[in-house]
Structures are given as structure tokens and as C-alpha cells.
Amino acid sequence: MRAMLRELPSRWLGLAVTTVFWCLLWGGFSPRDVLGGLAVAILVYVVFPLPSMAREVTLRPLAFLWLCVRFLWDMTVSAVQIAWWAVRPGPEPPTAVIAVPLASRSDLFLTFTAALSTLIPGSVVVEAQRATGTLFLHVIGVGTEEAAEVARERTRAQEMRLLQALARKDVLEEAEAS
């Protein structure tokens, strides 16, 4: 228990992200929400310890900022698109399940990429194959092979932004080479 508490300062990124998600769930960033989120984050990290990500993660602040900005942009554009499809007259938009082979073989980045893909409206990860590093996404607005390839490229570009923001140099180089 003491060892886990000593590790908390080295897990500041995870604590910060968990706290932000807590605040988003409660709809505000008041001091009470932030302190409550931090308390919940610490409790989660102590009760459910995870292996250290320090071996896989290197934070690059500018690339991380770009990842966040672009993710928010993609979310906004997709939400507007989904809203338009919901209210426009006419047939339902086409949908498809597509396979997206990822560049990285890291479980951590497979999971992060899957989470980011699911958070963008109009796409949901229905399966992730760890052995092949492939995500299967159900995507709205994909009726042709060209549209499916655009959706695949969008997911791969998101993975590369994630890797550029957080991956160790060797993981990033391996992904860029593939």
C-alpha cells in the first residue's frame, strides 16, 4: 500500500486525466469537483493498481496539445454531421463495419486509439484484435469502399497523432516504419 502511494507522483498524467474526466462527468470544474475528482482518481489508482506506463509513455507537450485540439475538432465536425443525418429528410445514412490495422502493436496505444475512436460520434469500436493490432469499427456514413478507406485513414491519422504525442521514440519509429 505504501509503495502504491509513493508511486502516485509519478502517475500525475493518469491522475490528471482521471480528474478531468470526473469533472466532465459532473459538468463543471469547480474546486469541489476538482478535489472530488482527484480523490476518486487516487482511490482508483490505489485500489486498482495498473502497471507503470512510464516505460511506454513519453509526453511531448506540443504534439499532445495538437492531439487534443484535433480530437475536439473531429468530435465537433462529426457531431454536426450526425445531427444533420438525424434531422434531414431522406433515407438513413449508410453504415459499415470496417477493419483498421494499426501501426503500433502496443496494447496501451491500441486501447487509447480505440477509446478516442469511440468518443467521436458516428463510430464505435465493436472489436479489437490484440494479436493483429486491428480495430473493427462500426461507422456511419460509409457506403462505398472509398468512404471506408477515408474512415480508415482518419483512424490511422488519429493513432499517429496519439503516438507522436505520447509514445516512446522507439515505439514511434517502429509505427512510422510500418
For 12-26, write each residue's pLDDT tens digit.
777 888 888 888 888
Task: List the alpha helices (DSSP H) in the chain.
Answer: 2-7, 12-26, 31-47, 61-87, 107-119, 145-166, 169-177
pLDDT per position in the chain (178 positions), as tens? Answer: 566 555 555 567 778 888 888 888 888 889 999 999 889 888 888 788 766 655 678 889 999 999 999 999 999 999 999 999 999 988 999 999 999 999 988 888 999 999 999 988 889 999 999 899 999 999 999 989 999 999 999 999 999 999 999 988 888 888 888 7
Tell me the sheet residues that pair with 95.
Answer: 140
Q: Shortest CA distance to 48 belongs to which of 11, 101, 97?
A: 11
How far apart CA 69 and CA 65 sit, in angstroms, is: 6
Residue type, 9: P
Question: 55 and 108 in contact (C-beta within 8 Å)?
Answer: no
pTM of the model: 0.72
Cβ-proximal residues to 138 (8 Å cutoff; 6+ apart), any chain: 95, 96, 97, 123, 124, 126
Return the pLDDT at 66: 97
